[in-house]
């Protein structure tokens, strides 16, 4: 599963981009991804303090959407 992020710079909120976090579980399901996403987001945010997560969602690795 992938956690897809829409992120913007804290210092320049109009500067945004997309990023992704690869998540691996024994059973890949949207529910498991949603359940574990908060800790993954907190870890990512701690490592990237200059960015703010605007939106996020889970997606299967094989079916990447064109837009978040």
- The H or E element containing residue 11 is none
pLDDT digits (tens, 9 = 90+) for 7-65: 999 999 999 999 999 887 656 677 888 888 989 999 999 999 999 999 999 888 776 66
pLDDT, residue 6, reads 96
Which pLDDT belongs to residue 27?
A: 62
pLDDT value, residue 42: 94
Instruction: Check the CA dihedral 60-37-54-51 and report its sign.
Output: negative
Domain ranges of the chain: 2-59
The pTM of the full predicted model, rounded to 2 decimals, is: 0.78
Tokens of 46: 């701690």
């Amino acid at each position: 599963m992938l956690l897809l992020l829409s992120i913007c710079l804290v210092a320049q909120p109009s500067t945004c981009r997309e990023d992704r976090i690869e998540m691996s579980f024994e059973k890949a399901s949207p529910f498991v991804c949603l359940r574990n996403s908060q800790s993954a987001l907190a870890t990512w945010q701690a490592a990237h303090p200059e960015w703010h997560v605007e939106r996020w969602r889970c997606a299967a690795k094989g079916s990447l959407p064109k837009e978040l």
